[in-house]
Amino acid sequence: MGKSQTDTASKGYLPITNDVFWDTKDGQPIYSQGGGIFRFEDPESGIEKYYWYGAQYKESAQYRNDPSVTPPRDNFVSVTCYTSTDLVNWESNGDVLTRDEMDKHQHTRWAGRLGVAYIKEINKYALFIQHNAEVLVTVADSPNGPFTWHQRINMESMIGTSNTGDQTVFTDEDTGISYLVYSYGKGRHKIYISEIGVKDGKVGLLDCTQVYKGAGREGNCMFKYNGKYYLFASNLYGWDSSYAYYLVADNIRGPYTPTDEMLIVRGSEADYAHVTQTGFFVKVKGSKQETVIYCGDRWANFAGNGLGYNQWCPLSFDGDTPHFNSLSAWNLNPITGEWQVGKGNNYIKNGSFEADRRRIPSPVKPVQEQLLGWATTIIEGTELSVSDSTSPSLNYFNTQQDRQTVIGEKSLQISDIVNFKRKIVQTVESSPYVALEDGYYSLTAKIRNSDGFPRLEMYAESDGNIVKKSISKSNEVWITVEIEKIPVRNGRVEIGFVAEGNAGAFCYVDDISLVKN
């Protein structure tokens, strides 16, 4: 359970901030996507550390330096490695697997989705990575690398496709055994688990167990909690975010329940797991509690869906049922394992409108009439419809110029071809694990609008009290609108926008935040 944010970020708590690009403790950019965190002893210092391996792409620096442009494709550079003793302060170990090393054997078109296992029999470390249409195994004498080419595995004889459809490495802390968790290479409608070990003198996969067959899934990853195995995955939405799904089992080989029907993780629904794909998990076994951290990949360098490539959120559990806590700021105590909501946490879900991957209403997957996390009521004007092309579009695709000021590819759009009245609402309330505490909050949003609005306002309502801010004139450039000192009571506040506009009038809204004062 998370402590409340009014507890001082007391001794031992370290801040984790999402929706920003991360740096090492000496201020260097962290470039790590589609990887994993493992605990190894550093042979140089003898200290057990967290080792974080992930892929760096040419576009990682490009997008970070200029997030107003979404690069068109991926160009793999290297596998990076960062180490930490507390999961918050990271040091760079540099590149542990280079593109040159891979290209010596076969030209690299795609590389990514990787993890590292310690192979006890031969006292080596093995890095498994998707490489073009097969799985590449590289080995090193130390977790610090460098990793060198060992063998490529064509998965055809095992699963029927030469490649895996997303993969991670999971190490069972109780047995020390590592596994590759992956899906079928085409359609990704089956998920498999294979033990990693030595066969015929080579590090590879010892077996293959199919644990799921159903709707296509990717971003396969797992963790163990309270003796149970949890298998997580995402939807097939390209680089975009999706619901986080899961299965649970008593044995790593299954059976996983519910059979072939993944459940949506509670708390991930309103913003697609903080605008991420399932990436990997890291578990903090503290002196007071065990905390599982969901480490989501935000592929913003290819999806343009916000800032930051790594979004980490703590999970809570109701019995065996996991709950995702979507937080933009929280604090972790790496010694006790406890966590608390951070001081600057933004309580709005999908406040930058980046969770939605298409124009909404959308007639194609995901078929969706409303923006994720928001409810739009058409009081007067053209009705919303997924099947009618005359339906108003609820989101606006930001131009490169817009993106010099606002975050990501999309924002809220309030417009119609006829005179209209409309209300857009989000209700923010306490969850069983994160309290929306009584107190004063500030609501901010960025707005760009035409004239032609007899009424245009942002408001917040809690416990019968309404606070409003009117936008009285047109704004050719984005402005910040703020309501300070909103009194929130009884763990609930409704925030939103009311618009009465003439035909053709438009208002765009982006980057909405609700923060406790």
- pLDDT digit string (tens) for 364-387? 988 999 999 999 999 999 999 999
pLDDT band at 229 (very low <50, low <70, confident <90, very high): very high
Task: For domain 26-275, give the CATH number.
Answer: 2.115.10.20
Q: Amino acid identity of 63?
A: Y
Q: Is the pLDDT of residue 7 over 50?
A: no
Instruction: For the sheet with 492-501, list strands across it.
Output: 375-380, 420-429, 492-501, 455-462, 465-470
Q: What is the pLDDT of residue 11?
A: 85
**Given this model, what pLDDT does residue 2 score?**
55
Domain 375-516 fold is Jelly Rolls (2.60.120)
User: Within 13 Å and on the Cβ side, how many CA atoms surround 484?
Assistant: 2
For the chain, the domains span 26-275, 375-516
Distance CA 45, CA 142 (A): 12
3-state SS assignment for residue 159: helix
Q: What are phi and psi of 103, to 5 degrees?
A: -70, -20
Record the tokens describing residue 358, joined without a space.
């298409």
Mean pLDDT of all residues in 72-78: 96
In percent, the amount of the chain with pLDDT more than 70 equals 98
Q: How many beta carbons lie within 10 A of that of residue 223, not counting itself?
A: 22
In the chain, the amino acid numbered 105 is H
SS3 191: strand
The band of 238, judged by pLDDT with boundaries at 50, 70 and 90, is very high
Task: Report if pTM > 0.95.
Answer: yes
pLDDT of residue 308: 98
**Percent of the chain surpassing pLDDT 90:** 97
In terms of pLDDT, which residue wins out, 51 or 4? 51
| Mean pLDDT taken over the chain | 96
Q: Which two tokens stand for residue 160?
A: 């029927």
Q: Which amino acid is at 437?
A: E
Query: Which DSSP letter does residue 368 get?
Result: B
Supply the pLDDT for residue 119: 98
CA distance 53 to 171: 14
Alpha carbon of 243 to those of 129, 219, 265: distances in Å?
25, 11, 7
